[in-house]
Structure 1
Amino acid sequence: MTLGSRNEVDQARQADPVGQAESSAQPEQQEQREQREQREQPEEAKGPTEWNEGRHGVGPWEGPWPEGPEADKYDPELLREGDRRNVVDAYRYWRREAIKGDIDKRRHSLHIAIENFENDANIGTVVRTANAFAVDTVHIVGRRRWNRRGAMVTDRYQHLRHHESVDKLIAWAAEEDLTVVAIDNTPGCVPLETAELPERSLLLFGQEGPGVSAAAQDAALMTCSIAQFGSTRSINAGVAAGIAMHTWIRQHADLHNSW
């Protein structure tokens, strides 16, 4: 830098002392801003829906707390703090065990099974839908672990059962007098839209991609397909399960028991 250039820089600094101060303060302000944003980040430990403040939930119980024989079904902490869980209004402030027990009185004879040999991420969606339809039990075949995030905490109110293999699932279904119906889109399937599903059904779904295994189809009374009219080769497994469950509901459920 020449002498003339150095003098020009010194003159600029003297002419704009505020700008120089702002420049030196920028790193400190940036650090403070990052710290503030970090403090404002939501806590990851809180689960989806059950604990957030979103559009679900009610505040603390207003008025005297419930008394008498029905009081045991209420959770004192929820009465005191409010209920932010993803439950229907009829179950507000209820203990988890009380909710599950009440659903047990109205559960259907329908069972759902899904193969989980590659840790299928759709299982959470299946469990959530099964809870909405008061399915008796959701059966996980293969890997015991699965991604529960998609269940939106409904797995706490839904009966779940694990089977190491399809053979063990089929053997269990035979002991319980359940008819196995596979859901897939392979050639020769019975259209789900015209099929009559047995009342004591176990609807079996394959994982995303491979579909229902050959062993499962061999053991099933029939394999049903869902009519498609577009370009995709298959429907998402979680969506297909919801369609099939609702088909059973339309044929067998007492709609007077719905919310």
Structure 2
Amino acid sequence: MKLYLTSALLGLSLGGLGGCQASEKGPAADAGASEAARPAMIGATAASGPETVSISLSAAGSPVSCADEIGATAADKQVKMCLAVSPATHPPCNTANSCAMIEDEIARSCALFDGQGAPMAECRPVPKSQAAAVAVVKRYYSALNAHDYDTAWQQWGEGGPPNQTRAKFSSGFAHTRATHVTIGVLEPSEGGAGSIYQNVPVVVDATLDDGTHQRFTGEYVVRRVNDVDGAAPAQLRWHIGSAKLAAAPAG
């Protein structure tokens, strides 16, 4: 698989070269809503960083199972965690699935039961934490690299990336051999108009199948609904709301 950052990853889901932004709904869009007109700072300290996530694929177009990605022992551990928390009759807790899919089911289940009884040991990071927001971005890249475009799509929320069809989204990722994602130092989350927003700065290094190297810098804005009455479980989960990356000199 290739993750074409110039025309696909940037142009389809991350915002495009030259600062064009893909946005579900940013903090400014909520400024006129009833709950709060001026965002408030949430959280006392910023998380430490940077953090690096590197994923390489050995064969373009081949689905990557969790067992192949991290080894059978580690994948089995992920599956046991998934089965321990998932309420689904047939959950996707299987080493043949991507690690991202398994991790997404864990995150979904933990968010569903968050606040109901004692916290489950498997629910790390805590569903509403800053770390859980960062995990969405990491899971997005993990899913893309495993060719699990459904799970990648779901990191943008139930409707997927803004102004994108499912077919167009998946067709853009055809020519990237590997990606190397560095997550920068986080600022405190921001809250306003019933939602919480977390900026996640990233540096993306990519290697195309012809050996070309590319680098992009920018940030994702990850959001969730802030426990308002009537919010659906999916709305209470962190998901990508917008992203903006620009080309940078290759390192």
TM band (smaller chain): under 0.3
What's the TM-score once normalised by structure 1's chain length?
0.23
Bigger CA radius of gyration: 1
What's the TM-score once normalised by structure 2's chain length?
0.24
Q: Which has the higher helix share?
A: 1
